[in-house]
Amino acid sequence: MKAVTITSVISLLAASAVSANPTLIKRAAPKGIDVSNYQGVVNFNAAKANGISFAYIKATEGHTFIDPDFSANYIAATNAGIIRGGYHFAHPDSSSGATQAKYFIANGGGWSSDGITLPGALDIEYNPSGAECYGLSASAMVSWIKDFSNTYHSSTGAYPVIYTTTDWWTTCTGNSAAFASTNPLWIARYASSIGALPAGWSFTTFWQYADSGPNPGDQDEFNGDMAGLKAIAKG
């Protein structure tokens, strides 16, 4: 099973710009949402009719929490014909990266080369209930993320997408560039432009640009066209 890497994504994005028609037509980047039990069970048929092409759905958190609405939302998105994947909210202070990757995979976060499943996403960001960097040094945080990422890749054949903010990444990993060649980036920035990216990444694959909008959950955009999005799901 071929891994989804930044190199392959770059090739896909470049290929999507080539057309047999000499007149290049700018296509709107596919829109998506990310949801959790906070939104409840989402009407994905309505979301698709309202322009949504992909979704990330919360599966797990730490090594003890399974989102109670994950299964219903994942099935609903699948039935609506939406390209979808699961995400894991990391708690680097509670257990190892490998432990949490295995928990994520066992509870809906896996990946298969079927053209409709996005690589699982590691949501690594501000601690909602304690120290911003979970009490870890920058080097320890980088090691934890590598442990999660390598375990996920060994099991599924794909590297996980990394969801973060430039501020958190700079503060808590020392602005590590260690993942830019392997892991697609999903940056969160609620503004009219993406702004500076973490070290190593020259572009972001996904952009979470708002926490509310015309569809439930956070609002996202894919950096490419539908062919590129489908290719990432295929691997």
Among residues 72, 24, 22, 80, the alpha carbon closest in space to that of 51 is found at 80
68: left (phi over 0), alpha (psi -120 to 50) or beta: alpha
Sorted by sequence, the CB contacts under 8 Å of residue 60 that are 6+ apart come out as 66, 67, 70, 86, 88, 89, 100, 103, 104, 107, 108, 109
Q: Which listed residue (34, 67, 69, 225) is catalytic?
A: 34
Is there a catalytic annotation at residue 123?
yes
Token pair recorded at residue 169: 């990444």
Parallel, antiparallel or unpaired: strands 206-210 and 31-35: unpaired
67 burial (CB, 10 Å; 0-12 / 13-18 / 19+) is buried
Is there a catalytic annotation at residue 125?
yes
Q: Which listed residue (61, 67, 69, 123) is catalytic?
A: 123
The number of CA neighbours under 13 Å toward the Cβ of 181 is 2
Given the structure tokens 């079927």, which residue do they identify?
A: 114
Sorted by sequence, the CB contacts under 8 Å of residue 36 that are 6+ apart come out as 57, 58, 67, 69, 217
Q: How many CB atoms lie within 10 A of CB 17?
A: 12
Is there a catalytic annotation at residue 34?
yes
- By annotation, the residues acting in catalysis are 34, 123, 125
